[in-house]
Amino acid sequence: MPPMTASQPAAPDTTAPTTSAAPRVGIAPDSWGVWNPVDAAQPSPEQYLREVAEAGFHWTELGPYGYLGTDADRLREQFAAHDLALSAGTAFAPLQREGSLEEVWAEVADVSRLVRALGGRHVIAIPALWERDPSGAVQGPRSFDREAWARFTIGHDEIGRRLREEFDLSLQFHSHAESPVGSYREVVRFLEDTDPAAVNLCLDAGHLAYYQADSERLIREHPERVGYLHLKQVEPDLLADVLKNDVPFAEAVRQGVMVEPPHGVPGYAPILELAARAHPGLFAIVEQDMYPLADLSEPLRIARRTHEHIVGCGADVRFR
């Protein structure tokens, strides 16, 4: 997409007074349809970084490791050119598998070195998702058995301790649709069975809503465990059909189950207000799943509208 011209709208005003406790709002590559490190169906890293700034955001995530590149010096220059800063990186953590700890740690350490070099503070851990065969049927268990659960929770504690000790970064667990940790009860069980000094929660409002979980309730009941936010909405009528008919998550995304605000649930303002009291100054990163894109120019328009919605939603937030 070409650079902004005089006929294009300017980035939204972000000069409204805020408090230091206000969540720091940013946006992630997922909101540009980025699911893979390299994929011709995705916008280029250059387009992404330019348009994040054009949409009025300052904070971003790395997205899939390798998408933005792995050269810290080059990335530092690119971030500076667009006045951007990093909040977090992401790694998959299939720690329920026997003997997986060191393999997962090696991948987390690669992400962590880059996050640390770029001034980020968090690494987000995502569980392995269900496997589906070509017909769409789920293969294998949808939930962990007792032994796998123990490996999973103990493994996250160990990864979190190493992350803190070796990189001075925080591990934030991200529950996910079509994973063994997706429902409210599963998320709470994870929090109860893990060490808050080692790992806390990246509360993804959209993935929680995917299984009718209440983000506001989770923050009220476990305020000390919410260390990071992903702002996301689901379209409830389509979601009902998705769940009724066991539509695969990737297909549900293609159908538009994740929507821009204010067209879905949950609302952002109450979540941001509760999170600000629970964890002053935490990151709240917009992450709207939309893979694959039909139009590579659409994410910028959606991101601008999302920025405007957040500015006007009534919550005390800051964009820097």
Strand partners, 122: 88, 170
Q: What is the pLDDT of residue 18?
A: 63
Q: Tell me, what's the pLDDT at 169?
A: 98
Model confidence pLDDT, tens digit, residues 122-155: 999 999 998 899 888 999 889 999 999 999 999 9
The helix/strand/coil state of 10 is coil
Q: How do the domains of the chain map onto residue ranges?
A: 24-312
Compute how many other C-beta atoms are within 10 angstroms of the C-beta atom of residue 222: 18
| Residue numbers of the chain with a pLDDT score lower than 70 | 1-18
CA neighbor of 156 nearest in space, from 188, 132, 191, 110: 191
Q: Residue 225 has what DSSP assignment?
A: G
Position 140 scores a pLDDT of 86
Amino acid 155: pLDDT? 98
pLDDT for position 13: 42
Residues 6+ apart with CB under 8 A from 294: none
Name which of 171, 1, 204, 8 is nearest 95 in CA terms. Answer: 171
- Spatial separation of the C-alpha atoms in residues 50 and 84, rounded to whole Å: 9
Distances (CA, A) of 221 to 29, 184, 191, 278: 30, 12, 11, 10
What's the pLDDT at 11?
Answer: 40
Any idea which fold 24-312 has?
TIM Barrel (3.20.20)
Residue 130: the pLDDT is 87
Q: How far is CA 233 from CA 82, 87, 162, 271, 293, in A?
A: 27, 21, 33, 12, 18
